[in-house]
A and B are shown apart, each in its own frame.
Chain A
Amino acid sequence: MPTSTTDAPGAGASQRRPLGASSPRYGERIIKAFLALCAGLSVVVTIAIVISLVAPTIGFFQKVPITEFLFGTKWSPGFGEQSSYGVLPTVVATLDIVAVSLLVAVPIGLLSAFYLSEYAHPRVRRVVKPMLEVLGGIPTVAIGLFALMFLRPLAAKLLPFLGWDSIFSFGVAGVAVGLMVVPLVSSVSEDAMRSVPRGLREGAYALGASKMRVSVRVVFPAAISGIVAAIVLATSRAIGETMVVLIAAGATSQIVPPWDVTEPVQTMTAFIGSTATGDIATGTITYNTIFAVGTLLFVMTLSMNMLAMHLVRRFREVYE
């Protein structure tokens, strides 16, 4: 630097300030620091989540060996000496819910996205998209009660041969969760489809391809990473869904294959939600169990979200 016109302490560091600036503006700096604190809060929140999960989880694994937790097949915490802490039944139950919900949400969401992105008139789009958003914004308690009181009797009427012993069933809960995540699947995959450049479509049309061919053979492969991201996000949302499964899937801890849709199950989230109510004493094994399951849930959803973000970034990079 050949010349320096500023002589105030600490003012020379900023390159943005014009050379003729007279006095350092402390107010501006304080404001910037405050805004940075607001943004930094999110990192604090994440750290707080990790800390609040880890400490009790360590306490839990001092009592229960990690192999019993991960590979044990019997889940009955909170029964004193008879307790057993195999988390598999709740994990399998969660995956059952995920399987059923994806079976509903992926075809409906994906096909709706095709329609909205490739076929729908702009006016139709403008009406239908907000309606789907409303569906996505309905409180999960409402969807849970809807599943229990409407979908469950409907399912028993439509498929009477399945043997509906319990009023709770993971099939019904899974369908409700699927309905809930349809808007997520359709909006994320529609974004991906719309970001496919027009030139690709036009090129295919110019070669005589039909509209269906363009959708299936050009738009679909071009948008595949966004579509996969949508499915991964939907999976993550279905894993973390609590109220619907708490109301409609029951609280029976058992390992059920995904085709026994009439069985009641208890998912990871339902376990946390039903056990953590009321005043449990800090430091007891029951208290720590909640956090151990919570940690597992957090790790599962976090890795799914990271994967989805990676995929979304990839399709953004390709076209923008």
Chain B
Amino acid sequence: MVTNEKTPRTGRTRLAVAGARAGSVSVFGKSSPGERAGSVLFPAVLLLALTLALTGLASLLVWSFVKGYPRLDANLIFNAPSTLFPATAGFRPAILGTLYIIAGVIVLIVPLGVGAAIYLEEYANRERWYNRLIELNIQNLAGVPSIVFGILGLAFIVRGPLDLGFIAASASITLALLVLPTVILAAREAIRAVPPSIREGSLALGATQWQTLSRQVLPASTPGILTGVILAISRAIGEAAPLLMIGAVTFVMFDPSFFSGGYTALPVQIYNYAVRPQEEFRNLAAAGIIVMLAVLLLMNSFAVWLRNRYEQRW
């Protein structure tokens, strides 16, 4: 039976062996008091772990609120930042900068992300090596650290081939590339969820492929796509590391513009306040975090609501 050792143990047989072993051990092994205690303790330990994770979340929220609450006023939103007067300093240019950057991100990711998703789901022939390469590549890009996108932004967009300089538009492009995989993956899920019969019905009535897509498939998958776009935007709002590299650190006192001049963004300004040693500036940073978290939670709840409200069951 030496040759038997060589037969490939596929996942299925491995599972079968595992199941059979567990089963026989549970029947023929003796059930000690320790084990009986274990079956009570085990779920308790699991629940404890989950509670720990949620406690971390809760304490972060409570902490930022407690620290930032005293500075939660109109100055926070409407005043320019200051290195001297933490009591009245605010985030005005940073909030405007984030709005500009995110507007640019939306303009870029919606057509590019949805276009790529449509191509991969509806047109691409999976037998072709280049289509498989694109898929693999998108999955890989989703895991590239954000700071590497900062390097890309610095070397390729701010300088190098595009040479746009340290402006908000460069930040938009960099962040758009960073969150594009998120949009593509979500949009693909949404498009895939539309049943083939819808397409076949449309094609049978004489519609072309693009007519089928634009009038049947895309409208049906819009809620899913929108959810993905919102999640991508909320990631782009919170991202600071790549912006540090492409020039968003300058302490901007004036209202920024999209195509020229210095700019900053909300998370970068928060970082700027956070690294100052004075307690007041750190509390100011905590207040900025409340603003950012409020926006993000609002957007995420909207995405969840959208998903539940328009989720179509075919």
Residue ranges of A at the interface with B (Cβ–Cβ < 8 Å): 25, 27-28, 31-32, 34-43, 45-46, 48-49, 51-53, 55-56, 107-112, 114-116, 119, 128, 130-135, 137-146, 148-150, 179, 182-183, 186, 200, 203-204, 206-218, 221-222, 233, 236-237, 239-243, 246-247, 269, 272-273, 276-279, 282, 290-291, 294, 297-298, 301-302, 304-306, 308-309, 314-315, 317-319
Contact = CB atoms under 8 A, between A and B. Distances in A.
B57 to A, nearest CB: 4
A214 B22 contact: yes
Contacts of A27: 210
A203 B240 contact: no
B119 A137 contact: no
A277 B136 CA distance: 32
B19 A204 contact: yes
B216 interface: no
A235 to B, nearest CB: 11
B137 A302 contact: no
Shortest Cβ-Cβ A-B pairs, 10 listed: A240-B145, A139-B238, A38-B115, A318-B11, A207-B23, A111-B49, A52-B155, A217-B22, A209-B26, A242-B241
B296 A42 contact: no
Nearest to A301: B145
A149 B286 contact: yes
Contacts of B285: 145
25 contacts: A32-B123, A38-B116, A41-B116, A49-B144, A52-B152, A52-B155, A107-B49, A111-B48, A115-B46, A134-B300, A138-B238, A141-B270, A141-B274, A144-B274, A146-B60, A149-B282, A150-B59, A208-B23, A211-B42, A216-B42, A222-B15, A236-B143, A240-B144, A277-B245, A302-B140
The dominant DSSP class at the A interface is helix
Given A145-B289, A217-B26, 17 more contacts: A27-B210, A36-B124, A40-B134, A42-B184, A49-B152, A138-B293, A139-B237, A141-B274, A145-B64, A179-B53, A203-B23, A208-B27, A212-B42, A243-B267, A277-B249, A294-B147, A302-B143
A241 B184 CA distance: 23
Contacts of B42: 211-212, 215-216
A49 B304 CA distance: 34
> How extensive is the interface on chain B, given as a class?
35 or more
Contacts of B14: 221
B289 A142 contact: yes
Contact of B22 (A34, A52, A141, A213): A213
A28 B39 contact: no
